[in-house]
Amino acid sequence: MYSKCVFRNDTKGLFRNRQAPHRTVVSPRPRKVSNDDVFAAAYRVMQRVGPADLTLEAIAREAGVTAGALVQRFGSKRQLLVALAEGVAEAPSFVDQLRQQHRSPLAALRAYADCMAGLAETPAAYLRNLAYLLEDLKDRDLRTQLAKQATSTRRQLASLIAEAVKVGELSHRVKPKALARTVEAVVGGSMMAWAFYREGAAGRWIRTDLDAVLAPYIATKKRNPTSETARANHAK
């Protein structure tokens, strides 16, 4: 289950230095379709069909190669998906990229929630992504890579929160690691709740719940007594 924020419009470099697990050399000619291209093609197909309909043939068609070529390169559909998961887990965190795109850490934190809402653009999309999550949880190797990705994301969320505290956006009462875990749980749980109620867009539902969690920790600017007195005297 991958957010669109992980698979950016330009996926080149996301899997840099990743190699297919099956390394048999079948031709001296250079590959015109890279592993990055194959992984991006697999992701596009996964956005259209569920696990039961995800086949090497469908991925090969999307990538512009033959299914046989994918077997020679990866060995099987499962090995291709494991290689894809390893690439996502080892790629630079998309949360770091969000921070670079936003002026404040708190804005980047809210953008994270918006990105995750992309998993539930429609009820059907959310159900499809849940089906992939179940497949990941059933497979030891896929679950291991999913856990690596989640651990990295939580660590980056904690960094965002710590920065928000440092720049005065969040209260110094905040414990970044604890709040990061809460944010992670709220975003995932809110998405599930939205699937039950289906009121409005998932993004707005999730943002509302996130803001409710953050509200007690939003730092308020302290009034300057001197300036308050000056304004009062000026009013007289």
Interval 176-226: pLDDT, tens: 999 999 999 999 999 999 999 999 999 999 999 999 999 999 998 654 545
Q: What pLDDT score was predicted for residue 23?
A: 43
Share of the chain above pLDDT 90, in %: 76
Q: What pLDDT score was predicted for residue 158?
A: 98
**Is residue 56 pLDDT above 60, yes or no?**
yes
**Is residue 37 pLDDT above 90, yes or no?**
yes
| Beta-carbon-side half-sphere exposure of residue 222 (alpha carbons within 13 Å) | 5
Q: What pLDDT score was predicted for residue 2?
A: 67
Q: What pLDDT score was predicted for residue 8?
A: 52
Task: Cite the DSSP H helix spans in the chain.
Answer: 35-46, 56-63, 67-74, 77-90, 94-101, 105-117, 123-138, 140-166, 176-197, 202-214, 225-235
Confidence bin at 30 (pLDDT 50/70/90) = very low
User: What structural domains does the chain harbor?
Assistant: 1-91 (1.10.357.10), 94-217 (1.10.357.10)
Interval 94-153: pLDDT, tens: 899 999 999 999 999 999 999 999 999 999 999 999 999 999 999 999 999 999 999 999
Q: What pLDDT score was predicted for residue 92?
A: 83
CA distance 101 to 137: 32
Residue 30 carries which DSSP code?
P
Is residue 84 within 8 Å of 76, Cβ to Cβ?
Answer: no
Q: What does R_g of the chain's alpha carbons equal in angstroms?
A: 22
pTM of the model: 0.82
CA distance 131 to 121: 15
Supply the mean pLDDT for the chain. 86
Q: What pLDDT score was predicted for residue 93?
A: 82
